[in-house]
A = this chain, B = another copy of it.
Amino acid sequence: MTDFPRPILTVDVVVLELRDTGLWLGTIARDSAPFPQMPALPGGYVHVDTDKDTADTARRVIKAKAGLTDIFCEQLGTFSGADRDPRGWSATVVYYALIRGARPKGAGLVWVPAGNPGVLAFDHNELVAAALDRLRAKGSWSNLPAFLLAKTFTLAELRQTYETILGTSLNDSAFRRKMEELDLIEPVIGKKSKSTARPAQIYRLKQGALRAFDRRI
């Protein structure tokens, strides 16, 4: 059973938040070796006595290090190898989390631009790049971008979020037609945005869960 030395198993979380200035990444300065003082992804060891699974570990880490609960959090993949951690052969199960709306004040994270986060500890730059790739891919065939917005939003906000993630501009009327057809969102009756011009209808996701769009080859 335990004939083999067990590798280190950790969980790391790529925490992403959308602002007017693009996607931002939540980092935390390491307080001990290896890579002391360097910014790193929030993460930690699995606590086998309290964590139900690695998703549970990810949620615990996000709550402990950023004070955040009830956010979108999905497994990205596992990165492993002899060299990625100087302490020895290690594997880290990576999750990515999306922050809805404004980030909480006083949270213990240092925010850096996700596309240009500077040098991070371990192989964490690679993990962030993989998370952004996943986000872009999934943005084009799911309602994932909606999880970067508050629970309610206008169609313009939703379209701008898709545009930020996909890196392209989308035709407004085609986007409205598509959203209508996909049956993903519903208007919050009577609710309108306040703005300097005509107020916009406010919408919310019909289902809280991530939903993929059908694709044909």
Contact = CB atoms under 8 A, between A and B. Distances in A.
Interface of A: 1-9, 45-48, 52-54, 75, 77-82, 87-89, 91, 93, 137, 139-141, 162, 166, 170, 175, 178, 212-213, 215-217
A88 B48 contact: yes
Given A78-B93, A80-B54, A82-B48, A140 B215 contact: yes
Contact of A217 (B46, B77, B79, B141): B141
A56 to B, nearest CB: 9
- Copies of this chain, complex-wide, total 2
Judged by DSSP, the binding face of A is: loop
A75 B77 CA distance: 8
A45 B140 CA distance: 37
A46 B6 CA distance: 8
Contacts of A88: 48
A55 B135 CA distance: 23
